[in-house]
Amino acid sequence: MKFSEIAAQLDSFVQSSSLNTHPDRDPEIGGLTALENATEGMLGHIQGQKYASFVETTAASALILPTDEALQTQATARGIAWIATPDPRLFFARAIALFYQPYQPEPEIDPTAIVHPTAEIGKDVYIGPYVVIRAGVKIGDRACIHPQVVLYPHVEIGDRALLHSNCTIHERTRIGADCIIHSGAVIGGEGFGFVPTDRGWYKMQQSGRVILEDGVEVGTNSAIDRPSVGETRIGRNTKIDNLVQIGHGSTIGQNCAIAGQVGMAGGVKVGNGVILAGQVGIADHIEIGDRAIATAKAGVHHNIPSGNVVTGIPAIPHQLFIKASAIFKRLPEMHKTLRQLRKTR
């Protein structure tokens, strides 16, 4: 694909381009690449000043640049075609879609699939080999269910939902339109509900359900548990990474990002636009306000107000953690000084 074709197809996101002044520099682009691996015929992107030095060293034939005239001048001087846009990473993501589309099977129901006669299947649905669909299941139009998925009774799957191989959706779970569930994920499994007695633990049946609103994505081997009563709900367009555990009865808002190995106990309430970095742990019934951020490995034992950033175990305000870390590094020196002061008393 010519560089000019890429620019034309994504024209609404282009602020300026070297094609305006050097239309003869229109290389053939064979694909997209990370800058450190770039070769001739590839398109790369510069995301801010951290990577600006690559303009002088990359072998890429074309670049997606930020709105930085200095970088644009550098690229032009090296003979590299470029596009400038306010968000190079987003443009890069859109450009990838011009070269690659995920595997999408043609609509069919494989003869090895086990589909209960009471199940309702929408139009243009793909159901792959050895899928098991139990009684009362409803599947929307153009849904795609890859091999060996299991849908328990009365599950609802929305239009265009994509369920990858070997995920399991437990009873009464509702999955909205355009959701993506990756391999090995378990949605709506039993919450961890046990009552202590003098004879040991008594199992509390988990009669609730899980609801995923439209556009939710759940990563590989993640688990979202149903509660004893009520629901566990994940808000619209929230993205959940691999190996995440969401406890029974939790509520997560819209447009959140939850990174790998996050674990939250039951009854947690997470607002809209929240970011939970890798390995964050959240105690039961904690409330996290809108747009809050918990950095990697934070141990959250107290509520987090809206917009706050927390770090550490236990989690404290991020700026306070930075100050404490600076002091922590000096503790051996401070201890030595304290011992000397004690000797002089």
Full pLDDT tens readout for the chain, 345 residues = 999 999 999 998 898 999 999 999 999 999 998 888 889 999 999 987 888 888 999 999 999 999 989 999 999 999 999 999 999 999 999 999 999 989 999 999 999 999 999 999 999 999 999 999 999 999 999 999 999 999 999 999 999 999 999 999 999 999 999 999 999 999 999 999 999 999 999 999 999 999 999 999 999 999 999 999 999 999 999 999 999 999 999 999 999 999 999 999 999 999 999 999 999 999 999 999 999 999 999 999 999 999 999 999 999 999 999 988 888 888 888 888 888 888 776
What's the token pair of residue 260?
Answer: 């790998």
Let me know: does 219 contact 185? Beta carbons within 8 Å: yes
List phi, psi (to 5°) of 71: -65, -40
pLDDT at 52: 87
Tell me how far apart the alpha carbons of residues 277 and 148 are, in angstroms, rounded to a whole number.
31
Which of 261, 266, 210, 203 lies closest to 234, judged by CA? Answer: 210
pTM for the whole structure: 0.90
pLDDT at 21: 92
pLDDT at 335: 80
Residue type, 289: G
Set 182, 248, 301, 335: catalytic member: 248
Neighbours of 104 (CB within 10 A): 10
Which of 140, 121, 207, 220 lies closest to 170, judged by CA? Answer: 207
What's the token pair of residue 246?
Answer: 């969401």
pLDDT at 345: 67
Tell me how far apart the alpha carbons of residues 186 and 182 are, in angstroms, rounded to a whole number.
9
Query: Is residue 174 exposed (0-12), middle (13-18) or buried (19+ Cβ within 10 Å)?
Result: buried
Neighbours of 184 (CB within 10 A): 17
Is 335 catalytic? The answer is: no
Residue with tokens 């649905």: 125
Pairing outcome for strands 239-240 and 257-258:
parallel
CA distances from 293 to 51, 145, 272, 306 (A): 25, 34, 11, 9
Tell me how far apart the alpha carbons of residues 74 and 51 are, in angstroms, rounded to a whole number.
13
